[in-house]
Amino acid sequence: MNPLALAAAMNLSRAEFLAKCGQLYDTEQKEKERLKLMDLEKLALNGCLEIGLMVLACAVKDHPLRNPDQEFLCERCKKPMRIQEKAQKNTLTTTMGKFEYARPYCVCDPCGISYAPLDRAMGIPVEGHSILTCEKICQASVTTSSFGVASKNLKGLAHIEMAPKRIRDVAEGEGKILAEVAQEEVRKYQAGQLEGPLEGCADLMVVCADGGRVQSRQGFACWGECRDSVRISTSRAPEQEKAESRWKEDKVGVIYNAKAQPNRSAGKLEDYVGAKAQIKTYTATMRPWEDFGWLLRVEAERRGYTVAKQKVFIGDGAKHV
């Protein structure tokens, strides 16, 4: 959407908004006999995005917390906050497109915190993109081989334009938060503060774990920390050792529930139909095996491993596993 249309969208009344929807409808009706399905589809899709963006922009514009002539109470101490800026601008990236809006920005001096009350109330992250956009960024990042490919996919499939560097920052930031949450759960589990299994008694719970080798960008500096998990012959040339020390070990575990399918009469391996996995959850880390063990254990317990009727662990029998 161009900036002019966007500016207009921010000030639309209900009647104007409906008129805009009507305009799109009329264009489609008028053109539908002349246009091929592909053209109509593009027209309809662009219309959906345009109207969707208007809905979002209007919802933000009409929000009562956009008015600076009121008292904002600090979410921590419940006392009035100081308004630092009456109309601080913010550009928000959503799955429908980008738009700019202004809202009061407040500070609580005693608590030492500052935020925009409207953003807090609407669940708008400070990073400048909606949560739904963040989900798509993360999905594109973990299912593609590079942030460059993720960027192209996001543009082509989700109409989100974002540079690879920015995608990387968002995805790695979210990953860091997830890792911290998992680590906090391990700490609680070790202190006996984590609640019992969230899932009921499964027929069969399966836990699998394995390590793999991945080449990192870290060079010789990581040698000390990764030498335990990388086999390097000392007879190799220093240059080769330096190159190999970039190799690290990732540890990946999967936990799933299944319906047990014992088939003792299956003679040959190919006749055996195994238990089909139902819900799979994963845990993975580049940290030492001991840390990985705790992460896997907490996830297994959460999934109800201890209360399952049957339990299976599948591993290759390597020392660490």
Q: Are strands 82-94 and 97-108 parallel, antiparallel or unpaired?
A: antiparallel
Coil, strand, or helix at residue 320? coil
Draw the binding track, 60-79, toward Zn ion (x: CB under 5 A; -: no contact).
--------------x-xx--
Token pair recorded at residue 224: 């000390």
Instruction: Give 5 or 111: the residue with its C-beta nearer to Zn ion.
Output: 111
Cα–Cα distance measured from residue 266 to residue 275, given in angstroms and rounded to the nearest whole number: 14
Stretch touching Zn ion by CB under 5 A, among 89-97, 101-109, 122-130, 158-166: 101-109
The gap from C-alpha 250 to its chain's centroid, in whole angstroms, comes to 20
Query: Counting contacts by CB under 5 A, is residue 106 touching Zn ion?
Result: no
8 φ, ψ to 5°? -65, -40
Q: Which residue has the tokens 């309809």?
A: 44
Stretch touching Zn ion by CB under 5 A, among 102-110, 148-156, 249-257, 303-311: 102-110
Instruction: Give 114 or 229: the residue with its C-beta nearer to Zn ion.
Output: 114
Cα–Cα distance measured from residue 78 to residue 145, given in angstroms and rounded to the nearest whole number: 47
**Among residues 55, 111, 132, 279, which is the contact residue for Zn ion, using CB under 5 A?**
111
Minimum Å gap between C-beta 75 and Zn ion is 8
Please report how many Cα atoms fall inside a 13 Å half-sphere around the Cα of residue 180, on the Cβ side: 6
Instruction: Give 108 or 209: the residue with its C-beta nearer to Zn ion.
Output: 108
Give strand ranges (E) for the chain: 82-94, 97-108, 113-115, 204-215, 247-258, 277-285, 310-314
Minimum Å gap between C-beta 121 and Zn ion is 16
Residues 265-284 that bind Zn ion (CB under 5 A): none
Minimum Å gap between C-beta 194 and Zn ion is 31
Minimum Å gap between C-beta 82 and Zn ion is 10
Q: Which chain residues interact with Zn ion by CB under 5 A?
A: 74, 76-77, 108, 111
